[in-house]
Amino acid sequence: MRLFLALCFLLGIPSGAPEIHSLKYFVTGASNVPNFPEYVVVGLVDELQITHYDSNTRRVVPKQDWMNKVTEEDPTYWEDESDVSLRDQQTFKVNIEIMKERFKQTGGVHIFQKMYGCEWDDETGEVNGFHQYGYDGEDFIVLDLKTETWIAPVQQAVPTKHKWDNDKEDLAYWKYYYTQICPDWLKKYVEFGRSSLMRKDLPSVSLLQKTPSSLLTCHATGFYPDRAQMFWKKDEEELHEDVVRGEILPNHDGSFQMSVDLDVSGLQDEDWGRYSCVFHLAGGQEVSKRLDKRDIRTNWKTNDGGLSPGAVAGGVVAALLLLIGCIIGLFIYKKKQPQGFRATNTSETS
């Protein structure tokens, strides 16, 4: 499996079942990458970013307010983590130069990355760890905790594999770290951020279309977290053709939105009811909306010059709301007028 093609992509990887919690760190060392720090570390719990470090600031900082609870038990936590990241930063700079020698490279843009962490099943108590390196978008070396050996997918990693396989003390430490230390920290973080990590908000789903010949958009907004999927299906089977999926985007209130488009230009009227738009939130919750012309929100006009049914319905609602607003406003204005006085004209200005 290819690793680390882009950090922002990795941050969007969907998690598994909700009872499986994860603590992951993505470490990126860059060589000759303009406008990008030489070294970046991003920490995530259940795919939600909790920490950040880069070579420009040289400080590990929390990305969630609840992460500050960690200092209640360890007042020097952030300083200690910053010192560790600074030391690792120097090691990564050396490793990039070693990678260039191994791959016979003299210059250019290169990325050396590490991904490590653990998973914990809060129902069974089972834990699992992972530790792997990638170079220029490809796997370089991976730790197999079950056999306590390193796997080298490429020839250039074989010398490293032999060296690390012979370091039994180091292997014993990694096994202890990923089965004891990492899960313990993960459990703390989950407890600190339980209200955020367990939050599940389903979206409102709408059907949108600019014109009868445009793609039909199924739009979901207001959901949380951002670990979600959205797709069209026909007769209970997921569609892959004539479908365009959009990205998950943030809303101003911290929730998210996304959309998926369907080409309906060739659909017969009798087939519309066979299609449904499905939103699936991590954890199994779903919202399904069947394709119905009456539910489409649009502003295009019909052949006789009138508005489409969706636009008419929206216009009627808007007009009623406007009328009600005017009545309420007039009532408030009347109530505020002083009793026993009448308004007069004046030529004075202030």
Q: What is the pTM of this model?
A: 0.66
**pLDDT (0 to 100) of residue 340:** 34
Residues 226, 281: Cα–Cα separation, whole Å: 8
Residues 260, 216: Cα–Cα separation, whole Å: 8
**pLDDT (0 to 100) of residue 241:** 84
Residue 23, SS3 per DSSP: strand
* Pair type for strands 228-234 and 237-238: antiparallel
Residue 226, phi then psi, degrees to nearest 5: -90, 15
**Separate counts of helices (H) and strands (E) for the chain:** 7, 18
Note whether 186 and 23 are within 8 A (CB). yes
**pLDDT (0 to 100) of residue 301:** 58
Residues 207, 296: Cα–Cα separation, whole Å: 5
| Per-residue tens of pLDDT for the chain, all 350 residues | 444 333 433 333 343 344 689 999 999 999 999 999 999 999 999 888 999 999 999 999 999 999 999 999 999 999 999 999 999 999 999 999 999 999 999 889 999 999 999 999 988 999 999 999 999 999 999 999 999 999 999 999 999 999 999 999 999 999 999 999 999 999 999 999 998 888 889 999 999 999 888 999 999 999 988 889 999 999 989 998 889 999 999 999 889 999 999 999 888 888 999 999 999 998 778 999 999 999 999 877 554 444 454 444 444 444 444 444 544 444 444 444 433 323 333 333 22
Helices within the chain (DSSP H only): 7-10, 77-102, 158-165, 168-176, 182-192, 194-197, 309-336
Q: Enumerate residues 6+ apart whose C-beta is below 8 A from 85.
A: 39, 41, 53, 58, 60
132 by Cβ neighbours in 10 Å (0-12 / 13-18 / 19+) ranks as buried
Go through the domains of the chain in sequence order and give each one's CATH number. Answer: 7-197 (3.30.500.10), 204-293 (2.60.40.10)
Q: Enumerate residues 6+ apart whose C-beta is below 8 A from 139.
A: 1, 2, 3, 132, 133, 153, 154
70: how many CB neighbours lie within 10 A of its CB? Answer: 19
Q: Enumerate residues 6+ apart whose C-beta is below 8 A from 64.
A: 48, 49, 50, 193, 196
